[in-house]
Homo-oligomer: A and B are copies of this chain.
Amino acid sequence: MTVTIQDIHEATKRIKPYIHRTPVLTNESLNQKVGANVFMKCENLQKIGAFKFRGASNAVWSLTDEEAKRGVCTHSSGNHAQALALAAKMRGIPAYIVMPSNAPQVKKDAVAGYGGQITYCEPTLEARESNLEKVKNETGATMIHPYNNEKVIAGQGTATLELLEEIPNLDVIIAPIGGGGLISGTSIAATETKRGMRVIGAEPEMADDAFRSMKAGKIMPSMNPNSIADGLLSSLGSLTFPIIQERVEQIVTVSESAMIESMKFIWERAKIIIEPSSATVIAVLWEKKIDLAGLNVGVILSGGNVDLGKLYW
Contact A271 B273 (CB under 8 A): yes
Asked if A45 meets B28 with Cβ closer than 8 Å, knowing A268-B106, A271-B272, the reply is no
> Digit string of A28-53 for contact with B (CB within 8 Å is 1, else 0)?
10000000000000001101010000
Within 8 A of B (CB), among A238-270: 264, 267-270
Asked if A45 meets B271 with Cβ closer than 8 Å, knowing A23-B23, A264-B308, A308-B264, the reply is yes
Q: With an 8 A cutoff between CB atoms, is A304 at the interface?
A: yes
> Digit string of A271-286 for contact with B (CB within 8 Å is 1, else 0)?
1111000000000000
Interface size of A by CB at 8 A reads: 24
**Residue among A267, A269, A272, A311 with max Cβ neighbours from chain B (10 Å):** A272
Stoichiometry, copies per complex:
2
Question: Given B267, B271, B308, which contacts A313 in the complex, CB threshold below 8 Å?
Answer: B308
**Which residue on B lies nearest to A47, using beta carbons?**
B28
Minimum CB–CB distance from A153 to chain B (whole Å) comes to 24
Q: With an 8 A cutoff between CB atoms, is A25 at the interface?
A: yes
Residues of B within 8 A of A23 (CB): 23, 25, 45
Contact B313 A311 (CB under 8 A): no
Q: Could you list which residues of chain A lie within 8 angstroms of chain B, going by C-beta atoms?
A: 20, 23, 25-26, 28, 44-45, 47, 49, 106, 264, 267-274, 304, 308-309, 311, 313
15 CB contacts below 8 A, A to B, read A23-B23, A23-B25, A23-B45, A45-B270, A45-B271, A49-B271, A106-B268, A267-B308, A268-B308, A271-B272, A271-B273, A271-B274, A272-B272, A309-B313, A311-B311
